[in-house]
Each structure stands twice: as C-alpha cells, then as structure tokens.
Amino acid sequence: MHSWIGAEATGSVGLNASEFQLTDNEKTMRDLAFPLIEPPHSRPLWKSVFGDYKPLPSPWRQVPVFDRTAYGRLLIDEPHRSHTSRYNVLMDDVRNDILRFESFYSYASRVIELDSKRNASLKLVSGLLPREREDALARMDENALIIQWVAQCLQRRVSSYRWALERLVIHTPDGLAASADMLIGELAAQTTVIASSMAPVRTGKVLK
C-alpha cells in the first residue's frame, strides 16, 4: 500500500531504487512506517503544512522546514470544553505513537536481521550477476533509509510534544502534566532505541 516510501527515501538522496520484489516483512514495515512519518491525524494543521493526504517528501528534501511549535499552537488555540481535554489530546497522540512504534519496530527488526543475512549471502551466491548485486544492495539501502526516516520523524514529534506540554503548563497548569511528561519520555526512549540498535546493514549512512 505504501511501497512508494522506499522509492522516495532512496530517490531523495540520489540512490537508485531496487527492482527486487518486496518481501512480506518489507511491505508491512512500509505500511507501519507511514503513520509514523505522517503527521498525527488528530492535528489537521499538520496536513496543511505537509501536503494533504499526498505522498510525503522524505526529511532530506522536505519543504517547508519542520516547525516544532505548530502542533502546540494549534492544540492551545483549538476550543476545548475544559483545559484538561488539551492534556488528554496530547497524551492520546503520544500513546498512539508509542503503540505504532512498537509494531513498526517489530517488523523493522526482522527486516534488518534478514538484510544482514542477505548481505552475508552475497559472497556465497554462485554466478551472481552485477544487476542482482546492485538490486540487493539498493534494497538494503532502502530499508535502512526508511528506518532512519521514521527515527527522524519520531525525534521531531518528541520535540513538538515537549514544546506543547511546556506551553500547557504555563497556560493551564494541571497535575496531568506529570503523566504527559512520562509518556513523552517513553516515546523519546524509543527514538533512542531505534537510532542505536538498528544501524544500517551496508551503507553506514546516517543522514541528517
């Protein structure tokens, strides 16, 4: 469904896409990546900033530049029946990201593990054609770049959520702030996990 994510990731940094068919794990990883690279559904403004329901540009050529204040400003400006509902919306968005990440990480781990085996197998395949080698390497690049894309988007979300919580605390202080802060911390820890434990198999490229 979201196979375009791979082509966008590689194309945005000047790499060729692989012609190999996607594995079931790779397809699922791309489908699970989309909700994490797409701005949160509950914040309509994100859609207007990044392109309404269209394929999203990768962070390596994204315009306009990410605005970490957009989410919080909209959260504060939107009418709510009570100030606590703003905290609840924030916490729901963070919880959703945590759950989405857990599913994505499960499949991404499988993909990286299998790519490691794929990389090792290249030396053992008899009569390996140059095009076959190029496609195998391209797919490993593609998978690694998608994972980096998700990691960058999660880092941006954490930054936005923290900005929003800081403003809520000074606008409408509430005991819910402590719970929201704990959830954001949990999501931040996930971004650290994906960045440190899922290094690219071949490229060594960690793009900024």
Nearest Cα neighbor of 141 from 208, 201, 73 is: 201
pLDDT of residue 201: 54
Nearest Cα neighbor of 107 from 59, 135, 146, 56 is: 146
Give per-10-residue mean pLDDT for the chain (208 aa). Answer: 79 85 95 82 43 52 72 84 90 93 93 93 93 94 90 90 96 96 94 69 48
Total tally of structural domains belonging to the chain: 1
Q: How far apart are CA 183 and CA 189, in angstroms?
A: 10
Q: How far apart are CA 21 and CA 33, in angstroms?
A: 18
Would residue 180 count as lying in a domain?
yes
> What single letter denotes the amino acid at residue 119?
N
Would residue 36 count as lying in a domain?
yes
> What single letter denotes the amino acid at residue 203?
T
Q: How far apart are CA 12 and CA 140, in angstroms?
A: 16
Q: How far apart are CA 33 and CA 27, in angstroms?
A: 10
Would residue 124 count as lying in a domain?
yes
Query: Who's near 110: CB < 8 A, 6+ residues apart?
Result: 25
pLDDT of residue 37: 85
Cis status, amide bond into 59, omega within 30 of 0 = no
Q: How far apart are CA 111 and CA 140, in angstroms?
A: 9
CB of 1 within 8 A of CB of 142? Answer: no
The predicted model scores a pTM of 0.81
Would residue 207 count as lying in a domain?
no
Q: How far apart are CA 36 and CA 24, in angstroms?
A: 19
pLDDT of residue 195: 67
Would residue 208 count as lying in a domain?
no
Give the Å distances, CA to CA, from 178 to 87, 111, 173, 181, 183: 10, 36, 10, 5, 9
pLDDT of residue 47: 44
Would residue 205 count as lying in a domain?
no
User: Which domain, by its residues, includes 51?
Assistant: 4-197
Q: Is 89 exposed, middle or buried (0-12, 13-18, 19+ CB in 10 A)?
A: middle
CB of 93 within 8 A of CB of 42? Answer: yes
